[in-house]
């Protein structure tokens, strides 16, 4: 399919959270594109069951995107040609992850310091014969902001679109996202640019889009526990909206694809986000953490959410 990269709202690849159930619910609520958690290129090539478990999709997802990470062009090439990725419309390369273990391996945001290698990685990913996008940060430190040069290099290497997280690698997830630097990126390249960082509601979305001039926004932590954010941004919140219904869809979708023990363990962290800001949230979170079976977790959802 031909991919339109001017869609306005995108669900980010959130490690540990962008599972198949969450992607389905966010797509139902208006996310135009949905990204998987980041997938190890080597893990995929070597046939890791854990890696392939992250690749389930549903028909609800409008544009299916897979994010992979790695720094060896040969493994990237072999990964994008893997049969397990055939169902995805877009291949994204993670060049922004700041986790030390990833960086020490020369992957994620380590590639910000090796633009020639980053370009080779993008070129290798093009062998998958689908649009390739890149997600990266504005720089390594506040003294080393390289977003514009990096964006130009990614465009020249063949990327169809880029997402820029408005923080440096050194910031991790602290401080404020720098949307002004993303505006400089937007003015420097011809391919679509997505702004990422600190978008938690419609007001912050509107402000991020105004300041950055981006073509769209990738929403990460702002969507956790709040898939309705996509509908709110588009001014299309459905009448009689039920958070409980979305939580149950998320929960039941996971059960379609994963072992109940996995779902039970995995869903506890989601419950912590779904109850955020609710009256009695400590009690709800504790009830979720103490659930010892699928039925008990379902009872928590039914009891505390509307």
Q: Write the DSSP symbol of residue 237.
A: P
Which positions are catalytic?
Answer: 97
Distance CA 48, CA 208 (A): 38
Output the CA torsion 184→189→191→195 (10° steps). Answer: -10
Distance CA 289, CA 300 (A): 10
Other CB atoms within 10 A of residue 77 CB: 18
What are the structure tokens assigned to 274, written together? Answer: 């779904």
Helix, strand, coil % (nearest 5) of the chain?
50, 15, 35
**Residue pointed to by tokens 């149950």:** 248
What are the structure tokens assigned to 42, written together? Answer: 């080597």
């Amino acid at each position: 399919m031909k991919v339109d990269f001017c869609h306005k709202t995108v669900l980010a690849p959130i490690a540990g959270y962008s599972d198949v159930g969450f992607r389905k619910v966010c797509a139902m609520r208006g996310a135009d594109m949905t990204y998987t958690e980041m997938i190890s290129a080597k893990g995929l090539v070597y046939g890791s069951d854990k890696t392939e478990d992250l690749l389930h999709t549903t028909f609800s997802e409008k544009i299916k995107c897979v994010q992979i990470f790695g720094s060896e062009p040969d493994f990237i090439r072999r990964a994008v040609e893997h049969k397990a990725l055939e169902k995805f419309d877009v291949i994204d390369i993670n060049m922004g992850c700041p986790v030390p273990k990833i960086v020490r391996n020369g992957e994620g945001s380590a590639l910000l310091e090796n633009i020639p290698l980053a370009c080779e990685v993008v070129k290798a990913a093009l062998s998958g014969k689908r649009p390739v996008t890149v997600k990266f940060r504005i720089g390594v430190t506040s003294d080393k902001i390289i977003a514009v040069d990096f964006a130009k290099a990614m465009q020249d290497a063949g990327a169809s679109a880029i997402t820029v997280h408005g923080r440096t690698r050194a910031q991790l997830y602290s401080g404020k996202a720098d949307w002004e630097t993303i505006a400089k990126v937007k003015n420097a390249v011809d391919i679509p640019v997505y702004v990422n960082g600190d978008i938690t509601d419609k007001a912050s979305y509107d402000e991020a889009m105004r300041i950055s001039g981006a073509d769209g926004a990738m929403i990460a932590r702002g969507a956790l526990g709040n898939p309705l954010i996509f509908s709110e941004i588009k001014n299309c919140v459905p009448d009689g909206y039920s958070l409980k219904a979305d939580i149950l869809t998320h929960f039941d979708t996971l059960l379609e694809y994963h072992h109940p023990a996995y779902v039970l363990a995995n869903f506890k962290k989601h419950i912590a986000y779904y109850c955020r800001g609710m009256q009695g949230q400590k009690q709800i979170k504790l009830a979720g953490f103490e659930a010892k079976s699928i039925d008990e977790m379902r009872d928590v959802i039914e009891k505390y959410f509307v």
